[in-house]
Amino acid sequence: MPNSSFIFNSSVELHSKLQERSLTCVDLLDAVYAQVDAKEPQVKAYVSLLRETAYERARSLDLRFDAGEELPVLAGIPIAIKDNICLKGSRTTCSSKMLEHFVSPYDATVINRLNAQGMIPVGKTNLDEFAMGSSTENSAFFTTANPWDLARVPGGSSGGSAAAVAAGEAIVALGSDTGGSIRQPAAFCGLVGMKPSYGRVSRYGLVAFASSLDQIGPFARTVEDVAHLLNVLCGFDPLESTSSKQSVPDFTKSLGRDVKGLKIGIPKEMMGEFVHPDIREATVKALDLLKAQGADWEEISFDMFDYAVSTYYILAPAEASANLSRFDGVRYTHRCDEAKSLKEMYTRSRGEGFGPEVQRRIILGTYVLSSGYYDAYYLKAQKVRTLIKNGFEKLFQTYDVIVTPTTPTTAFKPGEHSENPLAMYLADIATIPANMGGLPAMSIPVGFSNGMPIGLQIMGKAFDEETVLRVGHAYQQLTDFHRQVPGGMQ
């Protein structure tokens, strides 16, 4: 597309162009939607687009820029929104037939905060149904493609958001992360993806999957953009009961600091034979690069990683079973035709509205919460979760950050794990522990294997996003992996 390579710039770079008026908000939006029109038939990142409201906002912001007003750094930046985050007047489908025609009557807190900064939502992105999956294959509508190789998945569950940014169909995006649903697609699509500490970002307006694990977070090309987005997204919300009152720093101030003296631990359990050799090699290279800048890293043992996946797949389905019980066909959800009884209406509506993976998790969650199994499974899993959290706290007494590969492999092909749910679940083996501990964790691009991006995960202690960002930003000053663009998207 002629003269529109700026769609692959960072928000910070675009802000300079907008402020100096070498680029207008409408110009930027024109370029993004032109990319959507050109690439969306192959990528399929979006469930719905918001052109009319987007252009209204762009024109309004241009008037303010033209008047010489100093606007926030994210003003005028097109952003993609995962379609499990409520945006007033637009469909919020969760990529499910159950909510296919639901129009949100209100904005999520994060949407209000983005609106206050003058950001421009481009559209709502595809996901694994109700955020349950690691590939977007579980979407009721279609599977999103990975812009680096259209024959591969973008990851999940926030696959649409990751693909939109990687393809230049948005500058940045929002996703949600329950067990790796931001970090894993960020790794697969060559982006930075951040899961903040639990409680940092309000969940008000996020359709719940597992309420004690869910967090909203950003996708971007640079750690610097992520820091600016976190400045907007984070903060106490009286509308959300688990929202933290912890003070929110200016995350951008941690970016200029070097990594001298930082101690990095890398669990040997996450560097075994199940991790692709290219990914292990890229991980060690990234750590050695940080070591050359004054950080120190060493291999550690944390056997709690071995229990995280099995614990997660007891707790998360249990919470999903409870949260999804509200979708019963009575009010705003899918309702079956001509049911002869209330029971038939419930069972047929839920059977038709929920896809196989959602049904599997509801059944599993209902089972572990049922009489006779609650103590054996759910209660025991809660105790293991506490052990995982305590184990992290002990590690962070010695180490500033814990680093792992984000994923054991690069992006796989659709259908590769479809018949083996366990193999799909194990794709999140490195990302799930951070959700269990409520910790901040970020994936950054650190290389390629056979042309597909590799991600490195950086985890910090609770509410210490600053150190995570500091390490990621220091790495990006020394490399250009985050500057690479999928060949077919230019």
Phi, psi angle pair for 139, to nearest 5°: -60, 140
CB 166 within 8 A of CB 191: yes
Give the C-alpha separation, 187 to 77, whole Å. Answer: 23
**Residue 423's pLDDT is what?**
77
Report the Cα 65 to chain-centroid distance in Å: 31
User: Of 82, 124, 195, 461, which is the active-site residue?
Assistant: 82
Specify whether the CB–CB gap between 365 and 318 falls below 8 A. yes
Q: Does the annotation mark 181 as catalytic? A: yes
What are the beta bridge partners of residue 48? 124
From residue 99, give the alpha-carbon distance in Å to each of 89, 92, 130, 201: 14, 7, 10, 24
The catalytic position among 10, 104, 134, 157 is 157
Residue 3's pLDDT is what? Answer: 67
Q: Which of 95, 104, 158, 181 is catalytic?
A: 181
- Taking the alpha carbons at both ends of the chain, their separation in whole angstroms is 7
Q: What is the domain partition of the chain in residue ranges?
A: 5-260+479-489
pLDDT score at 488:
86
Concatenating the DSSP letter of every residue in 238-253 gives: TTSTT--------GGG
Q: What's the mean per-residue pLDDT of the chain?
A: 96
5-260+479-489 is classed CATH 3.50.50.60? no
What is the reported pTM? 0.97
User: How high is the pLDDT of residue 463?
Assistant: 98
Query: Is 157 a catalytic site residue?
Result: yes
Contact criterion met (CB below 8 Å) for 213 and 179: yes
Q: Is 325 among the residues known to form the active site?
A: no
Low-confidence ranges of the chain (pLDDT < 50): 1-2
3-state helix, strand, coil in the chain (%, to 5): 45, 15, 40
